[in-house]
Amino acid sequence: MSSFNSDKDVKKGVVKVLDEVDDNIDFRDDDSVPERRQIGLFSAVFIIFNRIIGTGVFATPSSILGLSGSVGLSLFMWIIGALIAAAGMQVYIIWGSAVPKNGGEKNYLEYLFRKPKFLVTSVFAANGVLLAWAAGNSLVFGEYILLAANVEPTRWTLRLVGFACVTFALLIHGVALKWGLRLQNFLGIFKILVLLFVIITGFVALGGHMKVPKPNNFTDAFQGTTASASSFCLSLYNVIWSYIGFSNVNYALAEVKDPKRTIRIAGPFAIGVVTVLYLLANIAYFAGAPKEEITGSGRLVAALLFRNVYGPRAERALSVFVALSALGNVLSVIFSQGRVNQELGREGILPFSKFWGSNRPFNAPLAGLGLHWTVCLIVIFALPPGDAYNFVINVISYPLSIINAAISFGIVYLAYRPYPDWPRVGIPAQAAAAFFGAVNVFLFVVPLTKPPVGADPYTSLPYWTHAVAGWAVFGLGFLYWVFWALILPKVGKYKLYRVEEWGKDGLRRHVFKTEKIQ
């Protein structure tokens, strides 16, 4: 006897029960609800911009310079990061064209790894739920807003301001959705203007109009270069963190007009513009402060530039601007991650799925947002403040590297052993996928090796903390799969399977159901 009522399911739009090995899952998109396609080319570009341009370019240059050892290599790292992002964008264009549905990597991993049943779904769910994406930029918001208020950031003041930031994001998106979207869009435009202002300030500094002696960072740009693989890897983590978001439109492809064409134009255009802005911003930093000041500034390098060019008052004003940029990124991240949690609930993957998938009481995913908020608070309050930001960057980048390696090499595999509905992929695209996959293998293998003296990523934590945490997240997903998909059905004497449904939002999803075994 099935555990769901057939009449109710007809109303919901159940169209097909998927077979036990998931070989017949339809990963193609459906055009049955054309009115859902409201995202055009311009909006798609802005979706990518709004996610990529957060606080990375304001907060990570000092770490990248410290790990690289020289201005020349530091700038070169940003170019390498752009090449990696371009290759990664190609990977997501291929997957987005083949599987133009909402959900991003979850769909791609499910397409690739169909056995054991539901394992990859559980592992991805653990990765989506347990990583505190919004915590890092909440802490950057705290540092910059405290600097603007002329308050020394102590262990607890920083944590409390970070708490206030992520809580504000939770409340406005969970209680007043329209106002949250308006604020998010406004801050998205605002942070691009802030970045342009930083670049203009760099040109002012290059012209010699400064309050301090002009630094000569470009005369011997590669002096002090380090050659450690570990330092190179950690530096890449920081750069890649600043480019994370190029895949953002893939999470909403079912709502994009002509998704295959749109993603092929929007992705490369966004990467190109962001690369130019990032390089010019870094040149601005090096034009306005000596190497030693930049490496000692922590995550306040943009404020340092304004102090040296315009004076202390301008430093405090820019600190407010960067804090608002950080807030915009937190709003964007918690908005999307809350919906990831909501979708996992609506598909029946999480325990108490109806609760996490609910839109009550304010017609917004308050429960899904609250789940991400809880994970962020654990990170903000449990980790040493000095290490928290770097840990968040690394622990998010590490599992993402594993996932990216899997879907990249998956493209190469499918080029020679394709499923019936897999499109033909050309040799250049295969090469880009292989390159992106190889880079990501490097990024998740090297952190397991001990870094040289002076290149440790943390002050208080062991160097391997983020690598172990990343694998632990996947391990928890595996244990959840054992409990949810193997033990509970056996004990409860039911079968777990999936059906295709159209939800009230007009989107099709694969939903888990149970059926009692007689």
Quote the pLDDT of residue 507. 59
Residue 5 located in a structural domain = no
CATH of the domain at 289: 1.20.1740.10
Residue 126 located in a structural domain = yes
Helix (H, G, I), strand (E, B) or coil at 104: coil
Cα gap 182→203, rounded to integer Å? 32
Residue 145 located in a structural domain = yes
Inform me whether the pLDDT recorded for 413 exceeds 90: yes
Split at pLDDT 50, 70, 90, the class of 13 is very low
434 alpha carbon, distance to own chain's centre: 21
Quote the pLDDT of residue 206. 84
Read off the pLDDT of residues 185-235 as tens digits, 9 standing for 90 and up: 788 788 788 889 889 998 888 887 777 777 777 777 788 787 677 778 778
pTM (predicted TM-score): 0.80
Inform me whether the pLDDT recorded for 3 exceeds 80: no
What is the average per-residue pLDDT within 353-371? Answer: 80
Read off the pLDDT of residues 97-144 as tens digits, 9 standing for 90 and up: 888 877 788 889 989 998 888 899 899 888 888 887 788 788 888 888
Inform me whether the pLDDT recorded for 23 exceeds 60: no
Give DSSP secondary structure letters for 316-351.
HHHHHHHHHHHHHHHHHHHHHHHHHHHHHHHTT-ST
Split at pLDDT 50, 70, 90, the class of 502 is low
Residue 1 located in a structural domain = no
Residue 309 located in a structural domain = yes
Quote the pLDDT of residue 35. 52
One-letter identity of residue 186: F
Q: Per residue, what are the HEC states of 160-181?
A: HHHHHHHHHHHHHHHHCHHHHH
Split at pLDDT 50, 70, 90, the class of 437 is very high
Residue 6 located in a structural domain = no
Split at pLDDT 50, 70, 90, the class of 6 is very low
Quote the pLDDT of residue 488. 87
Quote the pLDDT of residue 12. 43
Quote the pLDDT of residue 322. 81
Quote the pLDDT of residue 4. 38
Quote the pLDDT of residue 342. 80
Inform me whether the pLDDT recorded for 96 exceeds 70: yes
What is the average per-residue pLDDT within 328-350? Answer: 80
Q: Residue 415: count other Cβ atoms within 10 Å of its Cβ.
A: 18
What is the average per-residue pLDDT within 343-358? Answer: 79
Instruction: For 64-103, give one letter per residue: b (16+ CB within 10 A) or e.
Output: bbbbbbbbbbbbebbebbbebbbbbbbbbbbbbbbbbbbb
Read off the pLDDT of residues 240-264 as tens digits, 9 standing for 90 and up: 878 887 887 887 777 788 888 888 9
What is the average per-residue pLDDT within 479-489? Answer: 90
The residue segments making up the domain with residue 97 are 13-18+31-516
Inform me whether the pLDDT recorded for 167 exceeds 90: yes
- Count of structural domains, the chain: 1
Split at pLDDT 50, 70, 90, the class of 408 is very high
Q: What is the mean pLDDT of the chain?
A: 81
What is the average per-residue pLDDT within 390-419? Answer: 88
Quote the pLDDT of residue 503. 60
Read off the pLDDT of residues 263-307 as tens digits, 9 standing for 90 and up: 899 889 989 999 999 999 999 998 888 888 888 776 678 778 888
Please report, to the nearest 10 degrees, the dihedral formed by the alpha carbons of residues 95, 101, 104, 106 taken in order: -100
